[in-house]
């Protein structure tokens, strides 16, 4: 990001509760308005994440998803409505975000992220927020973000449990990537999907809101980053636990070799 926009009078009123925070102020809000964030998935995590990022004034929001809305999605994917069933998720999200904040530019990518299009799509954004529901996409994002030097804020949920971390291994020692924790993805049979095992609807909101917070922090450069830490939430116990992540010299993505 280069030059920052001057805030208009309506923007000063809209973002007043941000601007009065010393950690944000007018300059910080201008940074949010100038920022470009790609959200991968307009599902359980992407729904609250997109809503809070739009409300925060992120100037350009990309959303990539090739799925259409099913009735079973509505228990947790709160950006969509009953009347939207059958509609492409990116179109439903675009319409909802326009109602939340018409100043935000929404770029819908109605396609599946693949090794063939990942770098082309990611290149247009500053930060990537991963709300995908499969290991293949998570690893693809991890590797592509490392190569392109893009900050990745990634979360996952299942049943009553969620976890979140920030990956920016390109910044050097002390900043691991996803493969530093899990060098290889488990088999498809090893971890059940949400459709198979279930997921608490409100859990998606908790982790999606945490993702939005971490994205905003990374844009502003405030607070303590989750890079090097995995934050785990147990909804049944009502507890948060934290695990340190160490950069592995033999990591297949960001290791010394």
Which residue from 128, 176, 179, 180 is spatially nearest to 155, judged by alpha carbons? Answer: 128
Burial 205-227 (b: 16+ CB within 10 A, else e): bbbbebbbbbbbbbbbeeeebbb
Q: Residues 145, 180, 194, 251: which is the catalytic one? A: 194
CB 65 within 8 A of CB 91: no
Joined tokens for residue 33: 């308005």
Is residue 145 among the annotated active site residues? no
What the block records as the tokens of 224 is: 């303590």
Sign of the CA dihedral running 221, 222, 226, 232: negative
Query: Could you give the C-alpha distances from 192 to 113, 137, 182, 187, in angstroms and in order?
Result: 21, 16, 17, 10
- Token code pair at residue 144: 């592509």
- SS3 assignment, position 35: coil
- Please, what's the largest Cα pairwise distance for the chain? 54
Q: CA 17 to CA 24: how far, in whole Å?
A: 10
Residues catalogued as catalytic: 194
């Amino acid at each position: 990001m280069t030059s920052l926009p001057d805030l208009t009078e309506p923007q000063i009123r809209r973002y007043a509760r941000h601007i009065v925070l010393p950690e944000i102020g007018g300059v910080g809000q201008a940074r949010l308005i100038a920022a470009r964030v790609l959200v991968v998935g307009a599902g359980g995590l992407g729904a609250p994440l997109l809503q809070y990022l739009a409300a925060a004034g992120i100037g350009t929001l990309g959303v990539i998803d090739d799925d259409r809305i099913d009735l079973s999605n509505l228990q947790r994917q709160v950006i969509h409505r009953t009347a939207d069933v059958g509609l492409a998720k990116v179109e439903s999200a675009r319409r909802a975000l326009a109602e939340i904040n018409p100043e935000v530019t929404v770029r819908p990518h109605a396609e599946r992220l693949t090794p063939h299009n990942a770098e082309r799509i990611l290149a247009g954004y500053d930060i990537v927020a991963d709300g995908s529901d499969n290991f293949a996409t998570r690893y693809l994002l991890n590797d592509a973000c490392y190569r392109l030097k893009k900050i990745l804020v990634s979360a996952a949920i299942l049943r009553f449990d969620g976890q979140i971390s920030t990956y920016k291994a390109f910044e050097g020692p002390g900043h691991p990537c996803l493969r530093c924790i899990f060098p290889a993805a488990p088999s498809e049979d090893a971890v059940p999907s949400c459709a198979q095992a279930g997921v608490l609807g409100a859990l998606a909101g908790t982790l999606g809101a945490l993702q939005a917070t971490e994205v905003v922090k990374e844009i502003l450069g405030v607070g303590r980053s989750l890079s090097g830490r995995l934050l785990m939430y147990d909804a049944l116990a009502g507890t948060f636990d934290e695990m340190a992540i160490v950069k592995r010299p033999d990591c297949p993505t960001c290791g010394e070799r």
